[in-house]
Chains A and B, each alone.
Chain A
């Protein structure tokens, strides 16, 4: 809400030069001031001038050439307006002025005639949106003085953001109350009852059939004259961002801004039998609103009606038919109090947010309504020349019960942490309308009717704390309490950091991508629409579905990087995937788990894995491949202290996003928990990445965390030397390493400690269909140094075993 300090100054004594002090104090009390604007800003070089001569422009029919006395000198000014004559006083922007609309005045030539300044219109001074002609100032304005003073453009505006619980500060009175307590003043606001000119209600009847309407005051005023509002009112409305319509409508808005209480005016002609009924809407009832939209109503919507039809959506917006028009003469003024929740639900459902619904949602002061009606009536009497003012009709269905909160100063002290006495509490609360009385050590605090937000002790503690100042609260640390109970998350975080640190060592960069993806990604990965979780209100096309896998996110990031010419990539993400639990659309109860959220580690790499410019390795790049990634994953799993892991064939039908000939599954402690492989060319093409070799791995964090961090135990080092032998042989190309290894194991060679492949060659010199492999074997004993012949025997056993199973050809 944008507050004019001139208007606010009618309720208390305000020194506008202290605007920023007031603004800071409001902010420190929880009513945040977002902006301070000085109306005279930009008008420092706008002065009163007197037109001495007015001549036609020699080269343009519509322009005039003026000579204007601005006190120190006489200026020649070219002017496009026609509403001035010589002798008029005008507002002149001197050369160098920077007006509120951003216009900078320079010495210039207009159609070959020099012009040193500008005669201003209302809009150029930031006064009004429309401008017809330049401003003609009063005769008595003194030449050379600031035009802003003459026009009383001395206002200061502060824009406040009010918290959603403080309905009471959505009007000037509420702000005035807070400011008054800051400045240690009392607000000056009194409303005197307007004398009715006619007896009775003039036939007006009010009936409340919906108990969400707590109180309704209606008043009939006859013979009003529709005309424009006076300038001062228009200015005040415009300062708050409201457009002036006519005196009848403007008065309702003006009183709403002043008191915070929304009002509405109906045209009596449109109300059958002069009877207002507040009721629920009927099924399929419709209304055309003031903004000319038509709404189909629900039975839970509260309506203002007459015996025949709906007139308005209660507290939200009036209907166009019963609104004020140019020929309206008799009006019904409505001042009502509605249940905030009911107004909110209706406003939300129909998506209509108005100044009225905004205030009703936040709560109005039911006890103040009589005065609001009197204030409104007084303005109609003053500005609309009514013939008859009838007595108001006041129907109350629910009386406000007085709210009293009991507490002690000690409890407040204990809660806030700052020493507070009974007297201080009274001194803080009384100026903002609370009443404090004392019985023994207990304080009875009566909450004023306008503070709907204060209902319990904590609310009073807040009032005390904020009025006393948060800066007075000491900073102290509570005693440390260590609880062993909640350690799951802490351990998870530690494990994730281990993963990050290991991957970091391989050069992987951690990335974080959005959890939502476009609505076709899951189908690319073989998921159906039933598997996924869809957003009801996605913000863009690319963020419609909760991702079922991190794989597509990684591919998207690769694409983004390729587009930015980053070609050698290694990055990973630790994040969740989301799958529907297929609860067939029924609304889950709070105890049900809604989705399967599983955490994965997913990494991708492509291109050179080493520093591209490394003279120590020569100029040949080392591109990543299946084995580099597999080795990195193996190192990662070892580093996480997973006691056993293995890489096996992928079960048919699984991980279809991978190249079937260049991928494997990862088993940790016997359970499959991830995949490694080359991205399937099909999928790569779908992301326009078909030209690149992309290697990816994904691991289920939820499984890793169950098996990681196996205990460590140190073993004694071997006392006797180990002996290594190598064996190189040719085998048919289809014989896999795992077969050879299990064969070696089966041979049961004595003292064999360790073995594995260390070379693979199938280039020049190797027959078609064959490959050359080299294995190492390490022998050792805990009891003695092995003799050569013992090792020779073991090797023979191994060679025999291999020869029995494969067509192998030992190379020497």
Chain B
């Protein structure tokens, strides 16, 4: 017992001396292992208790534990002090110039035409529209005849057409997709057909290629008022809740009745400005009830009705993003494209 007592008191002295030389958290961690870990003297003593007389075991255990608790307390005190010092150190030495720029990664961008198209898809998707695609090199038959635009009718002149062969054209609108969809599917039909279209016209406001989105809804009981409701919903979602619409009678061979849609001018909110030529309105798209002749071509029963609408995506993008020159869409200048991150 005496033996243990002297052992413990010399151990206590040694540990205290060592602890006093600990100056940082890292050496404190090392000290913890050395003083209390599985290889420590203290641990060895604990393990050796079993070898003592049963009568002495209790006293010995208490003595060892006392020292252990004492050391642990010392460590905890020291640790608290060191942590406070360390925190202070860090706070004073790690001061940054937070006005320096961070590491910025070059972010790309979708083309403004893509962004408007995506927005259109998001607007019409909840109404049950799905997307239909078709070829850009198209038979005259699908581009014109099926859509009630016979060769001998002046309505052919409404679009300047690129020809590949006598009866093959670059589609002048995405309407052939609608016709082909109707030829392949029975009603009801609810589609959006986006894509590139071509017209041989090239000046400040026309490029020989541009993008269109057309919508088609065919079912029993579809009315002109449904077209108007759909367009009002579209205009509000696309240009803002306060947007109003106005339909004006027009003529398209594939719709009857036909209309053009005006929306409240996006620039002046209807007050009248240079962009809307002081009318307060902007022409956005053409639309109408599907001409029964088109249904005939598509072998649809004569009790279905439907509506269609079509718009130029660039036109919408120009209005939404205040882009002045149509040609800039296709020049590929990265300074132009980067604006649309």
Contacts and interface: CB of A to CB of B under 8 A. Distances in A.
B101 A615 contact: yes
Given A345-B152, A486-B191, A537-B162, A163 B131 contact: no
26 contacts: A164-B253, A344-B152, A415-B289, A416-B223, A417-B228, A470-B247, A476-B226, A478-B223, A478-B226, A481-B188, A483-B188, A486-B191, A506-B108, A507-B105, A510-B111, A513-B330, A514-B330, A515-B136, A516-B208, A561-B334, A570-B108, A571-B334, A590-B142, A594-B138, A610-B106, A617-B103
Given A345-B152, A564-B335, A539 B202 contact: yes
B334 A569 contact: yes
Interface stretch (B3-11, B18-26, B166-174, B268-276): B166-174
Contacts of A492: 131, 133
Given A503-B108, A569-B334, 18 more contacts: A164-B253, A344-B154, A345-B151, A416-B224, A417-B223, A417-B224, A456-B292, A478-B229, A482-B128, A505-B108, A509-B334, A509-B338, A516-B208, A516-B209, A535-B163, A539-B201, A556-B332, A570-B108
Interface stretch (B40-48, B53-61, B82-90, B113-121): B113-121
Contact of B219 (A478, A510, A564): A478
B153 A344 contact: yes
Interface stretch (A22-30, A227-235, A306-314, A721-729): A22-30
Interface string A741-768: 0000000000000000000000000000
B224 A415 contact: yes
A481 B225 contact: no
Contacts of B221: 414, 478
A499 to B, nearest CB: 10
Interface of B: 100-111, 113-114, 118, 121, 125-128, 130-133, 135-139, 141-142, 150-155, 157-158, 162-168, 170, 181, 185, 188-191, 193-194, 196, 198, 200-202, 208-209, 217, 219, 221-226, 228-233, 245-251, 253, 256-259, 289, 291-292, 305, 329-335, 337-338
Contacts of B229: 474-478
A54 B43 CA distance: 135
Given A473-B225, A475-B228, A587-B165, A166 B251 contact: yes
Given A164-B157, A470-B259, A478-B226, A509 B337 contact: yes
Contact of A28 (B208, B209, B249): B249
Secondary structure of the B side of the interface?
mixed
A31 to B, nearest CB: 8
Interface in A466-519: 466, 470-471, 473-478, 480-483, 485-490, 492-493, 497, 500, 503-516
Interface stretch (A142-150, A371-379, A457-465, A634-642): A457-465
Contacts of A284: none
A490 B131 contact: yes
A535 B289 contact: no
B127 to A, nearest CB: 6
Contacts of A490: 121, 125, 130-131
Contact of B139 (A30, A417, A546, A594): A594
A83 B139 CA distance: 66
B257 A462 contact: yes
A414 B226 CA distance: 11
A30 B181 CA distance: 30
B226 A493 contact: no
B152 A340 contact: yes
Nearest to B201: A539
Contacts of B133: 488-489, 492
Contacts of A459: 256
A462 B164 contact: no
Contact of B330 (A510, A512, A538): A512
Interface core residue of B219, B222, B247 (most chain A CB under 10 Å): B247
A263 B221 CA distance: 47
Contacts of B258: 462
Contacts of A485: 130, 185
Contacts of A165: 155, 251, 253
A505 B107 contact: yes
A512 B113 contact: yes
A442 interface: no
B106 A570 contact: yes
B224 A164 contact: no
A444 B188 CA distance: 31
A507 B233 contact: no
A164 B110 CA distance: 39
B257 A461 contact: yes
Contact of B190 (A483, A500, A546, A587): A483
Contacts of A578: 136-137
B251 A164 contact: yes
A536 B165 contact: yes
9 cross-chain pairs, A with B, having the tightest CB-CB distances, nearest first: A417-B225, A30-B249, A489-B131, A163-B251, A341-B152, A507-B106, A462-B257, A557-B332, A504-B108
B111 A512 contact: yes
A605 B231 CA distance: 41
A204 B331 CA distance: 65
Interface core residue of A493, A512, A595 (most chain B CB under 10 Å): A512
Contacts of A27: 248
A461 B305 CA distance: 13
B225 A418 contact: yes
Interface in A549-588: 556-557, 560-561, 564, 566, 569-571, 575-576, 578, 585, 587-588
Contact of A539 (B157, B200, B335): B200
Contacts of B154: 164, 344, 361-362
A561 B250 contact: no
Nearest to B145: A590
Given A458-B289, A481-B190, A571-B332, A486 B185 contact: yes
Contacts of B291: 458
Contact of A415 (B100, B111, B135, B305): B305
Contacts of B224: 415-418, 461, 465, 473
A422 interface: no
Contact of B217 (A478, A534, A538, A611): A478
Interface core residue of B163, B229, B257 (most chain A CB under 10 Å): B257
Contact of B130 (A344, A489, A516, A594): A489
Contacts of B157: 164
A470 B168 contact: no
Contacts of A576: 136, 196
B114 A470 contact: no
A152 interface: no
Nearest to A465: B257
B250 A540 contact: no
B105 A595 contact: no
A473 B163 CA distance: 40
Contacts of A543: 208
A481 to B, nearest CB: 5
Nearest to B133: A489
B121 A493 contact: yes
A564 B332 CA distance: 11
Given A416-B224, A418-B225, A466-B249, A164 B101 contact: no
A595 B137 contact: yes
A627 to B, nearest CB: 18
Given A417-B226, A535-B163, A594 B168 contact: yes
Given A475-B232, A507-B107, A560 B333 contact: yes
A609 interface: yes
A515 B139 contact: no
B301 to A, nearest CB: 15
A283 interface: no
Nearest to B230: A477
B127 A511 contact: no
A355 interface: no
A480 to B, nearest CB: 5
Contact of A471 (B128, B233, B247, B250): B247
Contacts of A594: 135, 137-139, 164, 168
B168 A540 contact: no
